[in-house]
């Protein structure tokens, strides 16, 4: 569930009218809900009660310092994939000792920085990487904690760009090779084997792939504990969110209107599926949610600039573009689109393309979708934009990055000001 809803004819985030946010701060702007972030974290944490576990938020989903600070205060650890993300976590008050460092291409400066900061573990993606971490740690005269990521060859049945657990993906060590990889790693002098990690993909809406992976890999984790005294097993993230119907799914009534079998995947259903395979391992179980925590906690506000009616279709041209939210262009990601002004029973629905100003045909947020009509000068919201939204934004076409705004009850705060063209050009002008 989430905290976006219509109230008195206008879309609200918690107790704040998003019409006022758009008018005061301009568009495009990302808006995040503190209550939703907090509730999602707490719900997953409570679902895993009874396990010795840790929730490690995937920073790549939404890395704003205020979001990280909120989660750190709730007790979250962090799954990071770069040295820059580790610096963000530290700047936000997070504990490096509760950070695991994933990613297939770690560099020497990143590894050195992470070792010196005392991270909990490197999740290594290949034997070559383990060897390199050993070398870097030796050069520093220190010992580096390492886990290998196993690729269980489980089909997550999600989009090919966000599937990570099959043998043809670039992530992890093949299941058939992992035991031999641990044996070789155990002979290296400057590392300690601390755990085992897996992650099969993102935006999973069925618990079955999670169960299949846990059932397959749990015996391996038990064996590695016996052989090398590892202390944790990270089962990754991947719990999906409701992209459609995103707005309706914010209410308890919507969930209760569906049978248990028909409901999308919940933290409780996820936990009930995997806990039986994990509870007797004697290992700390780590989970790495990103999209689940942040996805439905954010929206992107944008203004309709023009309407263009062609022979084939109607275009609504808005001031947000693929540089602000690239998911639809990158992997056909769906975002529900709603007017800030609540549609009435007489509001016409028309098929339309909602497109941005970027000079690319792929710059669209939907195509041929029946939506409530909205006029030039009116605001709309792209829902479910809290994860993989701002973090993937760019300055393409020399466009400034959007503002980010955090709502907490009836209060709002700009947590990242809108970037100006002057900001973009400053470093280049200084070096002309």
Q: Which of 133, 140, 80, 94 is nearest to 111 (CA)?
A: 133
Distance CA 53, CA 49 (A): 8
Tally Cβ neighbours within 10 Å of residue 214: 23
110 is in an annotated binding site: no
Half-sphere exposure of 75 toward its Cβ, with a 13 Å CA cutoff? 8
276 is in an annotated binding site: no
Distance CA 330, CA 36 (A): 26
238 is in an annotated binding site: yes
Q: What Å distances lie between residue 61 and 48, 121, 291, 386, 399, CA to CA?
A: 21, 20, 6, 8, 22
Which residues are part of the catalytic machinery? 359
290 is in an annotated binding site: yes
369 is in an annotated binding site: no
Is 126 within 8 Å of 151 (Cβ atoms)? no
**Cis status of the peptide bond prior to 353, with omega within 30 of 0:** no
161 is in an annotated binding site: no
Q: What angle do CA 265, 2, 335 make, to 5 degrees?
A: 75
Q: What Å distances lie between residue 431 and 396, 410, 419, 424, 426, CA to CA?
A: 20, 44, 20, 13, 9
360 is in an annotated binding site: yes
Q: Which of 71, 70, 133 is nearest to 101 (CA)?
A: 133
User: What residue numbers does the annotated binding site for pyridoxal 5'-phosphate cover?
Assistant: 238, 288-291, 388
- Residues annotated within a binding site: 238, 288-291, 327, 331, 360, 388
């Amino acid at each position: 569930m989430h905290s976006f809803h219509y109230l008195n004819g206008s879309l609200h985030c918690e107790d704040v009218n998003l019409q006022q946010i758009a008018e005061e701060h301009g568009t495009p702007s990302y808006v995040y809900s503190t209550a939703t972030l907090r509730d999602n974290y707490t719900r997953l944490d409570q679902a895993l009660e009874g396990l010795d576990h840790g929730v490690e938020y995937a920073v790549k989903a939404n890395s704003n310092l205020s979001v990280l600070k909120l989660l750190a205060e709730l007790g979250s650890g962090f799954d990071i994939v770069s040295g820059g993300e580790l610096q963000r976590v530290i700047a936000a008050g997070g504990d490096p000792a509760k950070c695991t460092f994933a990613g297939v291409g770690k560099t020497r400066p990143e590894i050195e920085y992470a070792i010196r900061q005392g991270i909990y573990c490197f999740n290594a993606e290949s034997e070559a990487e383990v060897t390199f971490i050993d070398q870097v740690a030796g050069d520093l005269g220190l010992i580096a904690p390492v886990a290998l990521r196993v690729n269980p060859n489980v089909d997550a049945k999600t989009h090919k760009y966000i599937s990570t657990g099959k043998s043809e993906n670039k992530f992890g060590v093949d299941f058939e090779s992992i035991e031999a990889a641990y044996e070789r790693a155990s002979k290296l002098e400057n590392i300690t084997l601390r755990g085992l990690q897996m992650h099969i993909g993102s935006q999973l809406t069925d618990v079955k792939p999670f169960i299949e992976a846990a059932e397959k890999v749990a015996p391996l984790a038990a064996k590695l504990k016996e052989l090398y005294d590892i202390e944790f097993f990270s089962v990754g993230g991947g719990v999906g969110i409701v992209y459609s119907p995103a707005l309706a799914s914010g209410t308890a009534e919507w969930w209760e209107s569906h049978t248990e079998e028909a409901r999308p995947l919940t933290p409780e259903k996820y936990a009930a599926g995997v806990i039986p395979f994990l509870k007797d391992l004697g290992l700390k179980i780590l989970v790495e949610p990103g999209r689940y925590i942040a996805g439905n906690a954010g929206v992107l506000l944008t203004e309709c600039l023009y309407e263009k009616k062609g022979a084939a279709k109607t275009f609504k041209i808005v001031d947000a573009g693929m540089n602000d939210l690239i998911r639809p262009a990158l992997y056909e990601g769906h975002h529900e689109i709603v007017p800030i002004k609540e549609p009435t029973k007489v509001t016409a629905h028309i098929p339309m393309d909602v497109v941005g100003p970027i000079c690319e045909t792929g710059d669209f947020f939907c195509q041929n979708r029946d939506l409530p009509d909205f006029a030039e000068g009116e605001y709309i919201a792209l829902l479910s934009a809290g994860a993989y939204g701002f973090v993937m934004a760019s300055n393409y076409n020399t466009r400034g990055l959007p503002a980010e705004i955090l709502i907490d009850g009836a209060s709002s705060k700009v947590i990242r000001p809108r970037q100006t063209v002057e900001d973009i050009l400053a470093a280049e002008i200084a070096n002309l």
